[in-house]
Amino acid sequence: MATTTLESERIRANEIIALLRANLTIRNEDFASVLIARESGDSFRVLVVTVLSQSCTDIAALRAYRNLDKSIGVSVQELAQADVRRIQSAIRVAGLHRQKARALKQMALLVSERYVGNLDAALDGPLEEARGRLQELPKIGSKTADVLLSVWGRPTISVDTHVDRISKRLGLTPHEAKYEEVRSGLMSLFREEDYRSIPLLFMAHGRRFCKSVRPLCPICPVGGLCPYRRKTRRLRRSASV
């Protein structure tokens, strides 16, 4: 029986993941949400550091999180009661500190009101309903919701700029695809048990090899499976003529 196009793409996708696993080192400390989940086992703390990581590096987000934990605390009750100016001061290193401080305060108040201070209640039940509940909180969009749910063991894939760029360069998703199409496309190609590691591997690959500007195609571990590498070769040859 002939192999279908989807089956062929799944085979290629899993070959890509095997190569990335063989050539990249995933360290918890490089991913703020993963590290805090391992340290605390607390879904609200993971959500806080994920919000802090928006539009900044994981290193800066972790510094802001540590500052916040030391000066105020990162529990629902502590942030709900804190003066927003103190939150701003603690998280300044993460950038956008005024917007993030307001969001963290409002988020804590809503979790306290709706879930009696226990965010775990929002993560239960059907996946799409849990995603919807999380996105009702301030500063929580699809990506932030998927980061938390994925770290919490729910079967979803979060799509940041690295995941978006790399999935399109590798031809795993259409170039014009938006967030939900990229997410669902990747989820259709990979095994559910791999969902949690896909963003970590793609982010590590984007930082090390598949950079936004001047990707390191000649030494890329998945270059043999990548149409973007062939495209850049043609562009370089055309430029040299």
Distance from C-alpha of 11 to C-alpha of 125, rounded to nearest angstrom: 31
User: What are the pLDDT digits (tens) for 12-70?
Assistant: 999 999 999 999 998 888 899 999 999 999 999 999 999 999 999 999 999 999 999 99
Is residue 190 helix, strand or coil?
coil
Structure tokens belonging to residue 216 = 């390191």
Q: What is the CATH number of domain 31-151?
A: 1.10.340.30
pLDDT band at 233 (very low <50, low <70, confident <90, very high): low
Sequence ranges of the domains in the chain = 5-28+157-240, 31-151
User: What are the pLDDT digits (tens) for 195-217?
Assistant: 999 999 999 999 999 999 999 99
Distance from C-alpha of 107 to C-alpha of 102, rounded to nearest angstrom: 8
Structure tokens belonging to residue 4 = 């279908």
> Does the domain formed by 5-28+157-240 have CATH 1.10.1670.10?
yes
Whose structure tokens read 């609200």? 44
Distance from C-alpha of 118 to C-alpha of 228, rounded to nearest angstrom: 45
Q: At what angle do helices 127-135 and 142-151 cross, to 10 degrees?
A: 130
Structure tokens belonging to residue 194 = 């791999």
Question: What is the reported pTM?
Answer: 0.89
